[in-house]
Amino acid sequence: MGSTTRREFVRNAALAAGMAAPAFQAGRAQDSPNERVNVAVVGFHGRGRAHIRAYSEMKDARIVALCDVDERLFPEAVAEVEKRSGHRPDTVVDIRKLIERKDLDAVSIATPDYWHALMTIWACQAGKDVYVEKPVSFTLEEGGKMVQAARKYKRIVQAGLQRRADGNTRAAMRLLNEGQIGSVYRSKIDIVKPRGSIGRTQESSIPKGVNWDLYLGPTKYQPFNVNRFHYGWHFFWDTSTTDIGNSAVHSLDVARWGMGKKVHPVKIHSWGGVFVWDSEQQTPNVQNASFEYADGSILDMELTNVYSPRGGPELVYYTNKGYLQSARGEGWETAVGEFSPRSNRPEVTEAGVNERVNRASFPEVEYKPGPAIVEEKTVSHFQNFIDCVRSRKVEDQYCDIAEGHLSAALAHQANISYRTGRKLVLDPQTERFVNDEEANKFLGREYRAPYVLPKEV
């Protein structure tokens, strides 16, 4: 898979980039940083702006640097940090130079998905803590190595699956995990996220200020095309995890959380296609997936980027006693019931928070009040990260990298099933597909030197 040793990797990086190799020396975050944590935001054309706003408003964090391959973005972003915090950050183009700084405690990564693993591993090796956006990895192999790096270098690595910070969601998951409404045998996700056509564009010259080679990083080199640049990279296989990795991974994470699954599924099947638009898009805009775990429980997902009327809730858990479902931004609904032989319309008692019980879910069930959802305190995902950087308590993270890996893996597994066109059987322990070498080729990727995933982290 184009892997190499760490020593070879550092040497090749220096030679190919025409610069000194990253120092990879531990920074101040090795034990316990100062009262104020020094952070660098890496990638801020889109999601990274939320990182800038979050850290700029914290008393115990300071943005000391901004890093991006598009130098045209710096003036506005620097001005925003200075306006919000009163501090003017430095600007850096190459993360390898950034993590050499001894005054830097942590990096907060919001780059394209295919850069996440390399940046996270490099930062861990340099003694920095990491906040990395979803999906944390581009392949299953990368996710496993990110977990290894976090543990080896004793780093705080938080996955950007922000729904875990929501107090209402945390309370609902507690009800499920404690079995208060029965045991979950199935969860169902339904996502409607319309996106327009990217059309077709021609190759063009590289805009001044855009470091195109560094932007492409580990992916294959190709001429500049605006459709493959800011956000457009989501629609091409060599840079995309599809919209399952882009948006549905949030729901997959919460579904897995509520089901209490800290393992990979054993059977995966995904299907769909590209519909409606005549464009350069390669990845599906309609995709379904089904995951079956060793105990027989099932996680189902439907996703469409083509306009569709919203029907039921985005996420439902079915238990042997009732259900818990999302209420489209209004919290969660719970209900328990007893199966009844009556065929006429059952009597329904509504209970819980935001109780709008779906009377059609179980037509033969007589509902009774479900346990109330008592919302927990909400602390932002970014603040939780900073708190853990200071405390060094991995267990206090809302979403440690190991959780991020399991949820990102669901997206990767679905995409591999989609691309091979068949149902797959996975060995959860080895993280390899059983008797399917074609599918196993998708567990990693080819890397373009010097942006190579190290064989040993």
Does 86 reside within a domain? yes
| Domain tally, the chain | 1
Structural domain range at position 391 = 6-162+380-400+431-443
The confidence score (pLDDT) of residue 368 equals 67
| Dihedral angle, C-alpha 89, 95, 100, 106, nearest 10 ° | 60
Does 212 reside within a domain? no
CB-side neighbour CA atoms (13 Å) of 389: 31
> What does pLDDT average to in each consecutive run of 10 residues of the chain (457 residues)?
38 35 41 77 95 97 98 97 96 98 98 98 98 98 98 98 95 94 96 92 95 97 94 95 96 98 98 95 97 98 90 87 80 77 42 40 59 86 98 97 98 98 98 98 97 95
Does the CA dihedral 110-111-115-121 come out positive or negative? negative
Does 65 reside within a domain? yes
CATH number at residue 83: 3.40.50.720
The confidence score (pLDDT) of residue 421 equals 98
Cα 69 to chain centroid, rounded: 21
Q: How far apart are CA 210 and CA 228, in angstroms?
A: 13
Burial class (CB in 10 A: 0-12, 13-18, 19+), 442: buried
Does 40 reside within a domain? yes
The confidence score (pLDDT) of residue 34 equals 57
The confidence score (pLDDT) of residue 366 equals 65
Does 100 reside within a domain? yes
The confidence score (pLDDT) of residue 310 equals 74
Burial class (CB in 10 A: 0-12, 13-18, 19+), 375: middle
Does 200 reside within a domain? no
Q: How far apart are the first and last CA of the chain?
A: 15
Does 155 reside within a domain? yes
The confidence score (pLDDT) of residue 86 equals 95
Does 227 reside within a domain? no
Could you tell me if 374 and 213 are in contact, meaning their C-beta atoms sit under 8 angstroms apart?
no
The confidence score (pLDDT) of residue 365 equals 57
Considering only CA atoms, which of 248, 279, 255 is closest in space to residue 412?
248
The confidence score (pLDDT) of residue 14 equals 36
The confidence score (pLDDT) of residue 354 equals 32
